[in-house]
Amino acid sequence: MPVGERPILQHIIDRLRAVGVTRVDLCVNYLGGLIAAYFSQARLEPGLELHWHWEEKPLGTAGALRAVPGLDQTFIAMNGDVLTGLDYRELVDFHVETGAALTIATHKNPVDIDLGVLETTDGYVSAYREKPTLHYDVSMGVYIYEPRALKHLPDGECQFPELVQRLLAAGEKVAAYSSDAPWYDIGTPQEYERAVQDVALLTEQ
């Protein structure tokens, strides 16, 4: 899907190259042939290598990493439908400082509650808020991994939340990097339209 003059994935790859990334591995299943056909004709920034990994069956958002060889140093992984002005260098620096096995980039997401919300203690009301807006840290779909995190992947399909739970159960540190950079999770028509309207914010980052 195009955002401005380029497909979403082209935006992602161009931003990665702009911060010095020289190799991008793409794990594809659904529409993989169409994506590969586009990039076989696309003009890529000099010094960038694309490597393709085809899933015969879906392996999940974390399990797909098993198909990528050579993940023996710190690396970034991200969903292919996420556009963001996130500062990748700052994210990596933060990750290294924490010593975590995995760092998740997060964004404050507002949730409007259309009812009165009570806080209670031992059956008594201690506070009452009418129709508040709550803010939650949500995953931006951008992650920094240490290779040791992959040792906790089970065989077969594994979704990212399961890997996080496995890491926590094993006593590994999972860090959260909060960002207020522009962020668009292109999972709904509304988010896609918002990204199309705000494309200038992404190209300026």
| Token output for 12 | 């992602």
∠ at Cα 3 (106, 77), nearest 5°? 35
| Token output for 124 | 């008594």
Extract long-range pairs of 92-97: CB within 8 Å, 24+ residues apart.
Answer: 92/144, 94/175, 94/177, 95/144, 95/175, 95/177
Measured distance CA(204)–CA(202) in Å, rounded: 5
Query: Residue 74 pLDDT more than 70?
Result: yes
Per-residue pLDDT at 40: 82
Q: What percent of the chain has pLDDT over 70?
A: 95
Residues 68 and 53: beta-carbon distance below 8 Å: yes
Q: Write down all domains in the chain, each with its CATH number in brackets.
A: 2-203 (3.90.550.10)
Query: Residue 92 pLDDT more than 80?
Result: yes
Mean pLDDT of 84-109: 96
More confident residue, 185 or 61: 61
Per-residue pLDDT at 44: 78
In Å, the largest CA–CA distance within the chain is 66
Q: What is the pTM of this model?
A: 0.88
Per-residue pLDDT at 1: 63
Query: Residue 204 pLDDT more than 90?
Result: no
Residues 53 and 24: beta-carbon distance below 8 Å: no
Measured distance CA(131)–CA(114) in Å, rounded: 5
Indicate the pLDDT class of residue 126, thresholds 50, 70 and 90. very high
Per-residue pLDDT at 41: 79
